[in-house]
Structure 1
Amino acid sequence: MSRQIPVGSADELAPGQRKLAFIDGRSIALFNIEGEYYAVENSCPHNGASLAGGQLEGRLLRCPAHGLRFDVATGCMPGKGGLNLATFPIRNVTGRLELSLDDAQPGQCHSQQCGT
């Protein structure tokens, strides 16, 4: 069963902004991209580098350490195969952001999802 964890108000995360949340010893990067909310593990699956400061290109987040890119919606790298980043369901509930912690899983990547 998933737990709904409050991670701040929607007003704190305007479009184009990001923030970190620390929950149960985990660092989670939150993003608002064009009014849609995304949450990912703040650790690159390649070598553990922090992703929160990475460059965003649409929904693609570039790891500042080695340049790997991940879709923040799916956790997938563009193209076939590659590493998967853990994503977390996040939603806006009457102006409050809630993250479902127990549902975090690396994305199941398919070429249709990640073919950017």
Structure 2
Amino acid sequence: MSRQIPVGAVDELARGQRKRVFIDGRSIVLFNVAGTIHAIDDSCPHNGASLASGHLEGCVLSCPAHGLRFDLRTGCMPGAGGLSLTTFPVRAVDGKLVVSLEDPAASSVQALACHAAS
């Protein structure tokens, strides 16, 4: 089951901007990439470093600690296998950005999907 959490107004996150939000003590970063909002867990799966200040090239985010790269659309590392980060569905509802927090099993399914795609 998922919870729908409003995290701000649609128009407050312009193209190219990012925003960190805290939900239930968890840090989540939203990115506006070419008008599409992506949300990820603000913790690198390698060592837990914050990803909020990572270098963004298109939809690929580099971890500022060790340079690991992740596709914001899938959470997967480009190429074969590798680690994956948690992504969250985001949608606009009545002028607000709403993040869907899935049950804990969803992140396990996402990690398996990254490995199956490689």
Within a 5 Å distance, the mapping from 1:1-116 to structure 2 comes to 1-102=1-102, 105=107, 107=110, 108-109=113-114, 110-111=117-118
Listed as ranges, the gaps of 5+ residues in structure 2 are none
AA matched with 1:31: F
**Aligned alpha-carbon RMSD (Å):** 1.2
Give deviations 1:71-105, integer Å, cap 9, x for gaps: 01100000010001000011111321000012552
Would you identify which runs of 4 or more consecutive aligned residues in structure 1 move more than 4 Å? none
Distance 1:49 1:24 in 2: 19
Distance 1:23 1:75 in 2: 19
The TM-score normalised by the length of structure 1 is 0.91
Distance 2:53 2:97 in 1: 21
Identity of aligned residues (%): 68
Distance 1:16 1:93 in 2: 21
Q: Which residue of 2 aligns with 1:114?
A: none
Distance 2:24 2:17 in 1: 23
Distance 1:20 1:2 in 2: 20
AA matched with 2:39: A
Distance 1:13 1:24 in 2: 21
Give deviations 1:56-75, integer Å, cap 9, x for gaps: 00000000000000001100
| Contact kept in structure 2, 1:75 and 1:84, CA below 8 Å | yes
Larger relative helix fraction: 2
Give deviations 1:5-50, integer Å, cap 9, x for gaps: 0000011111100000100110000011001010000000000000
Listed as ranges, the gaps of 5+ residues in structure 1 are 112-116
AA matched with 2:107: Q
